[in-house]
């Protein structure tokens, strides 16, 4: 009785089955065909219903409305804008306002978050308790609550322009917003820009040189006096040689309001303060967890090498903690950007407020406008996470892993 070895199963058939149906094989293939058919049917129903509904309500469709005149004013614009501009200009204005509040919020939140995290890890009992209380209080209140609190309760309690709170005779805080001196370009502006650029480049070169010396000869050079000298001296020199780079226009009380200077609208102040304080609490927890995830021995090794606590943190602990901190930090930055859409509740003219709010109610073209708005946020999310992934990749490369 001879038992022949069975022929090996056909590689091709197995691979095909795997490709079209995963581990479930042909059953899986049938399942996903059914799934796609159901999806397609739902999609068809949606499109047909939407078309019929739009026709019966006589709402135009398509993106033609973008070139129509908007006809409303926006309280804060980074680019020139007037009521006679088009809806696409409105979109741009809103997008820039969203980006402005997000970028400033991210910077502030990161700074506050790191400070609170260090406070929480401080050996000082009182300081760490205060930081902990801040984190618990802020994290357990809705962000919309905080935005409304700053806008309705705190900022509206500010005095009227005549009784403004003045700082250095140039900054005035009152119920109409924050008035700040406005720089007006002078003759030496280009020279100043060049000088700042040159200073930054030379500082970078100096740092590289100091590192090179340190790694090659083991001698540390103190570079900070030179850095300060370059950063302050060069622009100062440029100003002296080429004349004033800009003059400041100070806000002046004229009648019941301020004239001149630049005005930061209260909505912006409230939104930025609320978003940065809110996100800072989350960032503080992330940073604390990241720093605590670094082995205690690293801190002790740094101390035994004679480094100060600050140097140990800066040179040994934080670089290692950054790898743990970075992914959740990215998602907090994204959360801040997404939360900036709550501007609509207080009327800060961000993307959602002027585009998905005012433009939507004027044109009625819900489908297009909401699709564009969601698409923009999706794009921002993807871009931010791409940048952060790149940075994470750089860090992990520099750690040699």
Partner 1 sequence: MSDEVAFVRQELVPERAAPVRTTGFVGFLRTRLFNTPTNTLLTVLSALLIWFTVVPTIRFLLVDAVWHGADRNACLAENVGHPVGACWPYVTAKLTQFIYGFYPAAERWRVNLTFLLAALLLLPLLIPRLPAKSLNACLFFIAFPVVAFFLLHGGGMTAFAVSGAIISILLFLLSGGTRTGWLALGVSLAWFVGIGIVIDSMGDAGRLPIVDTRLWGGLLVTLVVSVTGIVASMPIGMALALGRRSTIPLIRIFSIAFIEFWRGVPLITVLFFATYMLPLFVPANFTIDGLMRALIGIAVFAGAYNAEVIRGGMLAIPRGQSEAASALGLSWWKTTGLIVMPQALRHVIPGLVNSFISLFKDTSLVSIVALFDLLGTVRASFADPVWATPTMLFTGFAFAGIIYFSFCFGMSRYSLFVERRLNAHRRN
Q: Which residues bind partner 1 (CB under 8 A)?
A: 19-24, 28-29, 31-32, 35-36, 39, 45-46, 49-50, 52-54, 56, 122-127, 130, 136-137, 139-145, 148-149, 152-153, 156-157, 334, 338-339, 341-342, 344-345, 352, 356, 360, 366-367, 370, 373-374, 377-378, 381-382
Comparison of 268 and 278: residue with beta carbon closer to partner 1: 278
DSSP helix/strand/coil, 357 = helix
CA triplet 122, 128, 129: central angle to 5 degrees?
165
Q: How far is the CB of 260 from partner 1 (least distance, A)?
A: 31
Q: How many helices (H) and strands (E) does the chain have?
A: 13, 8
Comparison of 31 and 240: residue with beta carbon closer to partner 1: 31
Which positions ≥6 away from 83 have C-beta within 8 Å? 69, 70, 71, 72, 73
- 129, 116 in Cβ contact below 8 A? no
Comparison of 144 and 198: residue with beta carbon closer to partner 1: 144
Q: Tokens for 385?
A: 């996470």
Q: How far is the CB of 206 from partner 1 (least distance, A)?
A: 30
Residue 264 bridge partners (DSSP): 178
Q: How far is the CB of 36 from partner 1 (least distance, A)?
A: 6
- 172, 258 in Cβ contact below 8 A? yes
Which positions ≥6 away from 248 have C-beta within 8 Å? 170, 181, 182, 183, 184
Q: How far is the CB of 190 from partner 1 (least distance, A)?
A: 41
Comparison of 179 and 333: residue with beta carbon closer to partner 1: 333
Q: How far is the CB of 200 from partner 1 (least distance, A)?
A: 32
Q: How far is the CB of 194 from partner 1 (least distance, A)?
A: 41
Comparison of 199 and 336: residue with beta carbon closer to partner 1: 336
Q: Tokens for 201?
A: 């480049």
d(CA 98, CA 76): 11
Q: How far is the CB of 179 from partner 1 (least distance, A)?
A: 24
Comparison of 175 and 202: residue with beta carbon closer to partner 1: 175
Comparison of 238 and 281: residue with beta carbon closer to partner 1: 281
Task: Tell me the C-alpha to C-alpha distance, in Å, between residue 125 and each of 107, 128, 132, 288.
Answer: 28, 5, 11, 16
Q: Which residues of 367-392 are buried (b: 16+ CB within 10 A; e: fewer)?
A: ebbeebbeebbeebbeebbeebeeeb
d(CA 31, CA 91): 42
Q: How far is the CB of 149 from partner 1 (least distance, A)?
A: 5
DSSP helix/strand/coil, 310 = helix
Comparison of 134 and 268: residue with beta carbon closer to partner 1: 134
Q: How far is the CB of 18 from partner 1 (least distance, A)?
A: 8
Comparison of 93 and 342: residue with beta carbon closer to partner 1: 342
């Amino acid at each position: 009785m001879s038992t022949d070895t069975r022929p090996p199963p056909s590689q091709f058939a197995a691979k095909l089955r795997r490709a079209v149906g995963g581990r479930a094989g042909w059953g899986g293939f049938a399942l996903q065909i059914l799934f796609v058919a159901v999806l397609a049917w739902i999609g068809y129903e949606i499109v047909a219903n939407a078309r019929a509904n739009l026709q019966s309500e006589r709402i135009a469709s398509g993106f033609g409305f973008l070139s129509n005149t908007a006809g409303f004013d926006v309280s804060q614009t980074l680019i020139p804008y007037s009521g006679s501009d088009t809806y696409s200009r409105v979109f741009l204005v809103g997008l820039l306002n969203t980006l402005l509040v997000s970028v400033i919020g991210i910077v502030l939140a990161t700074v506050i978050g790191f400070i609170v995290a260090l406070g929480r890890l401080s050996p000082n009992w009182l300081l760490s308790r205060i930081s902990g209380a801040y984190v618990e209080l802020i994290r357990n209140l809705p962000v919309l609550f905080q935005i409304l609190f700053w806008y309705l309760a705190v900022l509206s309690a500010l005095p009227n322009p005549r009784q403004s709170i003045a700082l250095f005779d140039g900054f005035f805080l009152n119920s109409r917003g924050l008035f700040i001196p406005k720089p007006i370009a002078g003759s030496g502006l280009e020279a100043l820009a060049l000088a700042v650029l040159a200073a930054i480049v030379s500082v970078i070169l100096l740092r590289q040189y100091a590192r090179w010396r340190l790694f090659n000869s083991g001698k540390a050079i103190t570079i900070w006096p030179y850095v300060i000298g370059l950063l302050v001296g060069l622009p100062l020199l440029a100003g002296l040689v080429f004349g004033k780079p800009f003059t400041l226009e100070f806000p002046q009380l004229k009648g019941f309001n301020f004239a001149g200077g630049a005005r930061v609208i209260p909505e912006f102040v409230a939104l930025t303060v609320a978003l940065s304080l809110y996100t800072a609490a989350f960032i503080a927890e992330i940073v604390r967890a990241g720093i605590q995830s670094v082995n205690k021995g690293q801190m002790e090794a740094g101390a035994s090498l004679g480094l100060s606590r600050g140097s140990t943190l800066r040179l040994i602990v934080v670089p290692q903690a950054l790898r743990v901190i970075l992914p959740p930090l990215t998602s907090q930055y994204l959360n801040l950007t997404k939360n900036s859409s709550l501007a609509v509740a207080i009327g800060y003219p961000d993307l959602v407020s002027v585009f998905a709010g005012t433009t939507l109610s004027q044109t009625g073209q819900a489908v297009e406008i909401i699709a564009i708005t969601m698409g923009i946020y999706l794009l921002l999310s993807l871009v931010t996470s791409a940048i952060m992934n790149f940075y994470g990749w750089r860090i992990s490369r520099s750690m040699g892993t």
